[in-house]
Structure 1
């Protein structure tokens, strides 16, 4: 069965597609999504012979609705526990948005014995909040206000940010209203507690000191029009701090590039995992 139990007794769900002996990619989703967000990457890659495993973090998707464990250390521990549970080796870790922070913390806390490489897609790492070391960062009060608005009415908030999230109107961006509504519906299945806790991670996130410790090749993928995690604050800084990294910037792509630029992302994942 595609479930396992973590050290604190939480039951987590994962999708496991493709042959057991294929080169393995392990996906961790952006905030509020489950495995469904990776449909257009996992299905073609699994069909081609890759093994594609997607963890649904606690409080998300079909994983257990729990009250605790949304700190970054525990979320990274959950990811490491999945690798142990399935006894996976030579894995390519793939994270989107908040999932990239889980990937980074998993590598720096648990090492790379099971990991061959990592892909950071549209992530907030190393951090987006204004500080003495990042004076051009975002005002934390702005992020806190957005989180409060979302908590008050998640459905309204998600619909309000829908178009900029996917980059509707940008050159070359094609996504149907139905597909966007499907993904909003999936995001709304995350529990209110998980939404609040995961959103609050961004207010204090700072992985600047951890990125230089990553000892596997890393592909950083980012869009030019990501208003949540602007590429100059995040993707480009990550690539500069990680010793063995490659930055790939998608012109006219926004935060939801996993859907709007699905085929290109799949191609990049395929090439990186098969290198």
Structure 2
């Protein structure tokens, strides 16, 4: 397995498949790099270099204590790009990972970046506040923190159903896939899993959105109840001049699986592969 070390000494796991233009995938909460298999495999076979890493605190990466904030996480992404000496990069951030894309650009610029993709991303500001009245009610995230603190395995075991929009009338997601999703989530540290709920929901990226100065694609599902398109995808497009918006009718939050063929095709078309 491959690891790289950040400037503060944290070892992060990554996978690096294929060759050609690099595409760096940033995973969502509380999963890890494995969530991208339905994009990485076909895109690597199409002549792209596909790279994904486990965020600190999750998956096979180190699980340090201390504060988890987007400045640190953006610097981790910067360390990966510098360590592998990547240029002409396409950044793809899913959900929480979209915040890393935004903060990376505002902290480190876009000299090494060719284009960006926000997939079901939490940008520009998720939680409802007096100056963000269209956000998501804070009590939703309070309940998540409470349930994680009381019975983390139980909460994460049920995460996949909401992620993929699975229910009594939707049998398109297998029980094995739901179990796999819960297993990925359980690999994260309890500290990082809980703290990152506050992080992705309460971080204000509105100022960071001005740093999107390269072609940007925003993809969101209209049935995303976790990160509603009205509060995130639609507002991200409005904040990024010239960005392209693709809205998947009826799709839930977990587009990386439920719409994986379409997501992969749209990414390939955007990259020009």
What range is the shorter-chain TM-score in?
Answer: over 0.9
What is the CA-CA distance between 1:250 and the residue it aligns to?
Answer: 0.8
Cα gap change, 1:274/1:199 in structure 2, threshold over 3 Å: closer, same or farther? Answer: same
The alignment partner of 1:3 has SS state of strand
Counterpart in 1 of 2:78?
80
Kindly tell me the number of residue pairs found equivalent between the two proteins.
273
Partner of 1:146: 144
Q: Helix, strand or coil: the match of 1:94?
A: strand
Distance apart, 1:197 and its partner CA: 1.7
Q: Which moved further from structure 2: 117-126 or 146-155?
A: 146-155
Deviation at 1:171, TM superposition (A): 8.8
CA distance 1:100–1:133, change in 2 (3 Å): same
Q: Which residue of 2 aligns with 1:124?
A: 122
| CA apart distance, 1:205 | 1.5
1:102-251 alignment, distance < 5 Å: 102-169=100-167, 174-251=172-249
Is contact 2:15-2:51 (8 Å) kept?
Answer: yes
Alignment deviations for residues 25-79 of structure 1 (CA, whole Å, 9 cap, x no partner): 0001001211110000000111121000002111111111211352110000000
- RMSD, matched Cα: 1.7
- Structure 2 distance, partners of 1:29, 1:203, is 16
The separation in 2 between residues aligned to 1:170 and 1:164, in whole angstroms, is 12
TM-score scaled by length of structure 1 = 0.94
The residue that corresponds to 2:6 in the other structure is 6
Greater Cα shift, 141-150 or 3-12: 141-150
Q: Provide the C-alpha distance between the structure 1 equivalents of 2:44 and 2:141, rounded to a whole number of angstroms.
A: 37
What secondary structure sits across from 2:269 in the alignment? helix
**Aligned-residue offset at 1:173:** 7.4
Shift in CA distance, 133/89, structure 1 to aligned 2, threshold 3 Å: same
Q: Distance in 2 between matches of 1:89 and 1:6?
A: 19
For the Cα contact (< 8 Å) 1:12–1:58, is it kept in 2? yes
In structure 1, distance between residues paired with 2:144 and 2:253: 16
Consecutive unaligned residues of structure 1, counting only runs of 5 or more, are none
1:271 maps to which residue?
269
User: What is the Cα deviation at residue 99 of structure 1?
Assistant: 0.4
Answer with 206-215 or 114-123: which moved more: 206-215
Decide which moves more: 65-74 or 156-165.
156-165
Q: Distance in 2 between matches of 1:25 and 1:176?
A: 28
Structure 1 Cα separation of the partners of residues 43 and 158 of structure 2: 33
1:92 corresponds to: 90
**Greater Cα offset, 133-142 or 50-59:** 133-142
State the Cα distance separating 1:155 from its structure 2 match: 1.9
Unaligned segments of structure 2, at least 5 residues: none
1:24-63 to structure 2, matched below 5 A, reads 24-63=22-61
- How far residue 160 of structure 1 moved from its aligned partner, in angstroms, is 3.3
- Inter-partner Cα distance in structure 2 for 1:170 and 1:100: 31
Kept after mapping to 2: 8 A contact 1:29/1:56? yes
When the two structures are superposed, what TM-score results if normalisation uses the length of structure 2?
A: 0.95
1:259 to 245, 253, 257: 257
